[in-house]
Amino acid sequence: MRMIKMAVLGVAIAFSGTTLVHAHDHAFSFGMPSDSGKAARIVKIAMLDLSFQPASVTVKAGETVRFVVTNTSSVDHDFTLGDAKVQADHRAEMAEMAKMGGDMAAMHASMGGDDPNAVFVKAGETKELTWTFGKAMHLEFACNIPGHYEAGMRGTITVR
């Protein structure tokens, strides 16, 4: 048991370096994180086995939206806001984590938690993400746990 804990800790330390760089590097082309109190609108999203409900959301440019994301399935999921490149990058990060083995939720937590544009939602839990959108564009929300996006666990956000 002790050995396993040490191994997980090792992974956490290995990742913390990249996470710090990553965190400081964040400037989003599609808006910014905001406080829930500034949101005039709540959008509820349910995470099902390998999909989101609803799978499309329309927002106004400049609008602040409080996403309340409930995982009603029996496995953990991720909710990441972003354009196609952000999603692909996050998918690559998660694939790296998965390759190192271990419990993804624990590793995620040990990495310092979520990116500002993402929440990791364990089975049965609810998390929130408040975001102020920028100019009109097409975005995605996606679960980037290996295999989930590919299986259709993604949605579209139209900023108009």
* Site residues for Cu ion per CB under 5 A: 77, 143, 145, 148, 153
Nearest distance in Å: CB 40, Cu ion:
29
**DSSP-derived secondary structure for 139-159:** EEEE--STTTTTTT-EEEEEE
Question: In terms of CB distance, is 22 or 122 closer to Cu ion?
Answer: 122
Nearest distance in Å: CB 57, Cu ion:
17
Question: In terms of CB distance, is 134 or 146 closer to Cu ion?
Answer: 146
Nearest distance in Å: CB 140, Cu ion:
14
Using a 10 angstrom Cβ sphere, with 0-12 exposed, 13-18 middle and 19 or more buried, the burial of residue 25 is exposed
Question: In terms of CB distance, is 133 or 141 closer to Cu ion?
Answer: 141
- DSSP SS3 for 114: coil
Q: Which 3-state string (H, E, C) describes 33-94? A: ECCHHHCCEEEEEEECCCCEECCEEEECCCCEEEEEEEECCCCCEEEEEECHHHHHHHHHHH
Question: In terms of CB distance, is 48 or 61 closer to Cu ion?
Answer: 48
Within 10 angstroms of residue 51's Cβ, the number of other Cβ atoms is: 18
Question: In terms of CB distance, is 69 or 153 closer to Cu ion?
Answer: 153
Nearest distance in Å: CB 88, Cu ion:
16
Nearest distance in Å: CB 117, Cu ion:
16
What ranges in the chain are assigned the alpha helix state H?
Answer: 2-24, 84-99, 104-110
Residue type, 148: H
